[in-house]
Amino acid sequence: MIYLASQSPRRRTLLAQLGVGFETLDVAIDETPQAGETPDALARRLAAGKVLAGRACLDDADAHLVLGADTVVVLDGEPLGKPRDGDDAARLLMRLSGRCHQVLSAVALASADGTRVRLSRSRVCFRELARPECEAYAASGEPLDKAGAYLRHPGPRRRLRARASRQLLGRRRAAALRDGGASARSGGLAVGREGQEGMPMKRIDTELKKVGNWLVDGFHLLGLFVIGGTVVWAAVHEYLQMIQQGRAALDGILLLFIYLELGAMVGIYFKTNHLPVRFLLYIAITALTRLLAVDAKTMPDQHILVITGAIVLLVLAVIAITVVRYKYPGEETR
């Protein structure tokens, strides 16, 4: 189960867009920068702090994934926090007016193996903003819980805010205002908006896939060890029976060959992650040969013909695969 350690409705919406099932944990931590702390370190610490606080809310935290994120707006090396009120929001927007700044988005993913934190950066440039524009945007209430006092926010609220702004400021100013006055440019290159919207979704998607792949690989390896251990146990058991009987019959020797081929197949699959088809054919040939050796005397003639024909077909298949691999050495035959 995935838990999102965030009080942000926007982050919940973004994560839902990935099609991932999750539940939310309302966590609150102290976001005050520490003495001498860099903006990068601040963003990482806050994201990690949220997931650790989220894990503390769970009784069986090791059985779940906890995701958290934090955004830090940086101007002249100084992190700009969330505004205290509307006046503070307008003040922050005026500081950003006509200048470029950085948006740092850190995402943390906590599991039983520990906490991983990744950081993404965006460069955002504002056009020149007039004081009435900043005050009107601050009066909408939206920037009060946003780092840097702004957010790119598509949807109904943008349209409502734009409608109110047109009455006060005119169409041209309102069009720029509904994007928070931001122009996403970086030396002529487009800047991804996902970091500005609260979470770097591509990075989160990548991290979740890594965890999923790790779980699949873990079960994969566990299954190989179980199969390999079973083959070894069966081979040892058969060999001990031969010792107890004081003789080695043909059917027992052929059975040991089958176990040997199974073990080799598991080893090759473990090393290359490819299933060696030829070993499956070898096992089938050995098993059918063992059947003939044990039951030929009591088996009807037509059954003997069918089994013999099957062995011939399997041998031809092995020869065909060998020829193909020799003729096309760059191709994988699975």
Per CATH, domain 2-199 is 3.40.640.10? no
pLDDT in tens, 126-157: 889 899 989 999 898 888 888 888 875 444 44
Q: What is the pLDDT of residue 175?
A: 43
Catalytic residue among 70, 113, 205, 217: 70
pLDDT in tens, 15-34: 777 777 788 888 888 888 89
| DSSP states of 250-278 | HHHHHHHHHHHHHHHHHHHHHHHS---HH
- Could you tell me the pLDDT band of residue 42, with boundaries at 50, 70 and 90? very high
How far is 54 from 304, CA to CA, in rounded Å? 67
Beta bridge partners of 73: 80, 103
Strand segments, DSSP code E, in the chain are 2-5, 22-25, 65-75, 78-80, 100-111, 114-126, 182-183, 185-186, 189-190
Higher-pLDDT residue of 158, 261: 261
Higher-pLDDT residue of 249, 115: 115
Look up 62 and say whether it is catalytic: no
Strand segments, DSSP code E, in 89-130 are 100-111, 114-126
56 within 8 A of 44, measured Cβ to Cβ:
no
Residue 249 DSSP one-character state? -
**Burial code of 106-127, b = ≥16 C-beta within 10 A, e = fewer?**
bbbbbbeeebebbbbbbebbbe
Nearest Cα to Cα of residue 69 among 32, 136, 124, 14: 14
**Which of 38-42, 257-261, 302-306 bottoms out in mean pLDDT, i.e. has the lowest?**
257-261
Residue 326: partners with Cβ closer than 8 Å, 6 or more residues away: none
This model's pTM is above 0.85: no
pLDDT in tens, 296-305: 778 888 888 9
The pair of structure tokens assigned to 117 is 């934190």
Annotated domain spans of the chain: 2-199, 211-327
The pair of structure tokens assigned to 169 is 């400021």
